[in-house]
Structure 1
Amino acid sequence: MRAIRPFVALACGLLFGLGLIVSGMANPAKVLAFLDLAGRWDPSLAFVMAGAILVAAPAFRFARTRTASLLGAPMQLPTATRIDLRLAIGALLFGAGWGLAGFCPGPALVSAASGQPRAWLFVAAMLAGMALFAVFESRTRRS
């Protein structure tokens, strides 16, 4: 089972990327139209998100009953349940980045793989932000 995990992960990633392309989530213009509530709002991505929730909710419920994945890997689900300032600030930064660029991390990687220069710029900024967070976090933990 252990030898098959990378291939299953690749297949899942490709399926996820294909879903992002088909749904329009990898198209920043479509995402920005979804976020433009006061202008030419495109509600179609709300249906994509609702469909994702309908698929994910039972899967997460099933996953919570297990200690290992179907392929034998340890189950690693989030355990935090508290909404704190740190979570709120992170969500605001994520939403601001999404609203300014029209990308969130998954669709940005899909768009970058298809050669979109704006996506490469977003991915570079995202990686820089992740590096800054890692530096900040390590300094915070030390003190």
Structure 2
Amino acid sequence: MRHLIGLFSGLLFGAGLALSGMMDPARVRGFLDVAGHWDPTLAFVMGGAVLVMALAWAIQRRMHRPALCEEFALPGTRLIDARLIGGAALFGVGWGLGGLCPGPAIASLVFHPLDASVFVVAMLAGMALFRLADRPHT
């Protein structure tokens, strides 16, 4: 049952990305072009996501445990450090240049496989490089 809910959630997320136009890199770049032809679509998508998450957090606070797990696996809080800022900056630069982030890039493999695959391969290479660089030194 958990796998079906995960599949449904992923399909719903992908459909939302497609419907909102967030798989179109030009739309994301248009949002970032505040001095030119600014496209506010992404702001509305983000606003909708914030509302949905606010509702989800309110529901979660009233639940004793999740419906299909023994306990909630919620992220903890972390300090804002150089590593976090550097990673966020690197993500932002890649997002601005490519016009995609991981979710839309993977969803774009369905509609624009050649364009999206270049981004996804670069993303996976970056993830692998991080894993190699982040290993504890012994």
TM-score (norm 2): 0.91
2:16 aligned with 1:19: yes
Aligned partners of 1:73 and 1:120: how far apart in 2? 37
CA shift for structure 1 position 65: 5.9
Partner of 1:6: 3
* 1:100 aligned onto 2:94: no
Which amino acid in 2 is paired with 1:81? R
Matches within 5 A, 1:28-107: 28-63=25-60, 68-72=65-69, 74-107=71-104
In structure 2, C-alpha distance between the alignment counterparts of 1:113 and 1:122, rounded to whole Å:
13
Aligned partner of 1:114 among 107, 111, 116: 111
Note the C-alpha offset of 1:120: 0.6
CA deviations 1:70-105 (Å, max 9, x no partner) are: 212542221023111111001001100000000000
Q: Which runs of 5+ in 2 are unaligned?
A: none
Q: CA RMSD in A?
A: 1.7
Letter in 1 for 2:11: L
Among 121, 126, 141, the residue aligned to 2:123? 126
Residues 26 and 103, structure 1, Cα contact 8 Å, conserved in 2: yes
C-alpha separation in 2, matches of 1:74 and 1:107:
29
User: How many residue pairs are counted as aligned between the two chains?
Assistant: 138
TM-score by length of 1: 0.88
Q: Distance in 2 between matches of 1:8 and 1:73?
A: 16
Q: How much does 1:142 deviate?
A: 2.9
Distance of aligned partners of 1:64 and 1:142 in 2 relative to their CA distance in 1, 3 Å threshold:
farther
- One-letter code of the match for 2:127? M
Which residue does 1:142 correspond to in 2?
Answer: 137
Q: 1:135 to 1:17 in 2, by over 3 A?
A: same
The one-letter code matched in structure 2 to 1:21 is A
CA distance in 1, matches of 2:110, 2:12: 14
Cα separation, 2, equivalents of 1:66 and 1:94: 34
